[in-house]
Amino acid sequence: MSFLKSLYPYFLGVVVLSADVSVCALASEESVSAGTTLAQRIYDRENGRDASSRGVMVLEEKGRPSRERKLYTYRLDKSKGEIWSLVRFVSPADISGVGLLTLDHPGDNSDQWLYLPELDKSRRISSDRKGGKFVGSDIYFEDMQDREPSMDWHNLMGHQTFQDQPCEVLESTPRKADNSVYSKRIGCVHLPSLIPLWVDFYRDGKKEPSKRMVVNRFDKVSGIWTVLESTMSDLEKGTQTRLRIEKVVYNVNLQESLFSRQALEDQTVEKAFRP
């Protein structure tokens, strides 16, 4: 299940796993099969060949002024499992111009570069980083990376209704514990759109989720189901990050050259593709 593939048209999927044998043992063969099928459907769902969007990330903490990050994102599904993305921040001033280029390759391989406008330099960063907060938000680096369904065990746990919408409860557990910061994810997938309406993220094998993502608004854009607003809450720290998409366009013939160091280091190249 690639939760955030459904959430953020530019942030690419995620999932779950840990070789949690007990979960697998308890799950029936039928539910595992159905879960795997559903996870694959979510991963394969129509997402457009490419997309670019403008969004606002609002970092909130009770009793504190909220902080905003405005950003543009670009995604290109180059081939199966080969997904390229570029994120450019335009505010606030201290991170304006910062860019993140991610080339996700089939399997668990990725290349990632960060552009620092102050130095006018891009530098490689470890794509193995999963648990760090992305620009201080409640979104982890792992939440933005592509995660193929085969990296997790999936178990269909039943039906539920969330905000009057029927959804299927899907549990995903990493097959290898070390390739995810999460020990488990449980989400409820809205079947018509294949969008998880909520996802609970578990860490360190705890029984209570550490984070919760809720979709606040989703709709079809250019015939593609798109999450337009979502909230990621850190249940332990009491913070939350709202991600609002102000505009998104699909299938605009984004060029491979947009996902290059040239575009990463030169905002002018990327500006031409802004929605």
Partner 1 sequence: MVLAEWVRAVLRACSFSMVILSAPVLAVDMTGLSQSDGQVMTRHLVLKGFSTKEQAERAVTVLKDAFAAQWRYQYAESSGSAEMHHEVRADTERGGYLVDVSIITPSAPVEEGDSSAIPVVSVDQALTETPAKEASGQEVFPAESEAQVRADALRGEGKEVELKVVRVLVPDDHTVKKRFVRRTDAARALTVLKEAWAEQWQYQAPDATEDEREALERLGSFSIQEDKEQGGYLLIARGINIKTNYRVRWWTAVAEQAPPEEPPAGAVIDALIEGADEKPSAFRLNGRVKGELGWPAANGQGDGGVHYANLYAAFAWQPAPWLEMHVAGRVDGNWQQNVRWNEVNSLPGEVFMRWRGEKNRLTVGRQSVIWGSLDAVPLNDRLSRVDLRRVMMDDLQDRRLAVPMVRWEQFMGGLKLDAVLQPEFKSALLPALDSYWSPIDQKNGLAMGMEVNPLVSALVSKGTFGDDGGGWGGAGIRLSQAGEGLDWALTVQRFRPSTPYYELNPAVRSTLLATGNPQLALSSASGDAFIGRHPLGWAVGGDLGMPLGPATLRMEAVYLTDVPVTTNDLRLDSVQGVDWGAGIEWNPGDAEARLIAQIVRRQLLNAEHVLNSVAVTHLNGSYQDEFFNGRWRMSLAYAIGLEQRDFYWKPELTYLAHEPHQLYLAAHLFTGKPGTMGGYYEKKDLLTMGWRMRF
Q: Which residues pair with 167 in a beta bridge?
A: 160
119 touches partner 1 by CB under 8 A: yes
Residue 212: partners with Cβ closer than 8 Å, 6 or more residues away: 198, 199, 200, 201, 232, 233, 235
Site string for partner 1, 256-275 (x = CB under 8 A): ----xxx---x-x--xx-xx
**Pair 273, 74: CB distance under 8 Å:** yes
Which backbone phi and psi does 273 adopt, to 5 degrees?
-105, 5
In the region spanning residues 154 to 173, those forming contacts with partner 1, defined by CB under 8 A, are 166
| Piece of the chain touching partner 1 by CB under 8 A; list 2-10, 20-28, 194-202, 251-259 | 251-259
79 touches partner 1 by CB under 8 A: no
Greatest distance between any 2 Cα atoms in the chain: 55
Residue from 136, 157, 177, 179 touching partner 1 (CB under 8 A): that is 136
Residue from 118, 158, 204, 207 touching partner 1 (CB under 8 A): that is 118
Site string for partner 1, 181-210 (x = CB under 8 A): x----------xx-----------------
108 touches partner 1 by CB under 8 A: no
249 touches partner 1 by CB under 8 A: yes
Q: Report long-range pairs for 206-210 (Cβ below 8 Å, ≥24 apart).
A: 208/235, 209/235, 210/234, 210/235, 210/236
- Type of residue numbered 69: R
The nearer residue to partner 1, 213 or 228, going by C-beta atoms, is: 228
